[in-house]
Amino acid sequence: MNHHLFIYGTLLHTLSTRIGRYLKANGELRGDAYATGRLYDLGQYPGFWYDPGSTKRVYGQVYHLHNPEEAFRELDRYEGINPAHPCQNEYRREEIPATLNGQPVPCWCYVLNQPPGGLAEICSGNYLDFIEGSGKHRDFLGTV
């Protein structure tokens, strides 16, 4: 199984969340990266719509997971992945290419499961920049 994970939101290394600490303890940060697509504001947290043909970038980080099977059990639970009802999940875990140090790296990523519809786009593609001006997001980060 692929050991790489591309993260772009509440799991980011610089945010102090319970799930982020879990990731730090069970993986190794490889560095800053980006993937093609668009980042959306879901109210308290972001969602990534992966689009391989897009010229837009979503900025994040790549982790190397020590034990991906174990880590994905915990991460899937956090992301609300219910294998019994995949169409009802907000996210799905998909393998996508991320660009790390100028090179494509196949990574697992939690992407939106349904088209974003009327969601507000985070035009910068950078969640860390976005949360500076969002009280709802900062409040949510204090609970996860």
Residue 59's contacts (CB-CB under 8 Å, 6 or more residues apart) are 8, 32, 33, 34, 124, 125, 126, 127
What six digits make up the tokens of 120? 């507000």
User: In whole angstroms, what separates CA 36 from the centre of its chain?
Assistant: 13
CATH number corresponding to 4-141: 3.10.490.10
Q: What is the DSSP string of 44-67?
A: SSEEEEE-TT-S-EEEEEEEEESS
The pTM of this model reads: 0.93
Find, among 22, 32, 112, the residue nearest to 75 by Cα. Answer: 22
Give the strand pairing for 4-7 and 46-50: unpaired
What distance separates the 2 farthest-apart alpha carbons in the chain? 38
Q: Tens digit of pLDDT per residue, the chain (144 long)?
A: 899 999 999 999 988 889 999 999 999 999 999 999 999 999 889 999 999 999 999 999 999 999 999 999 999 999 999 888 888 999 999 999 999 999 999 999 999 999 999 999 999 999 999 987 767 777 777 766
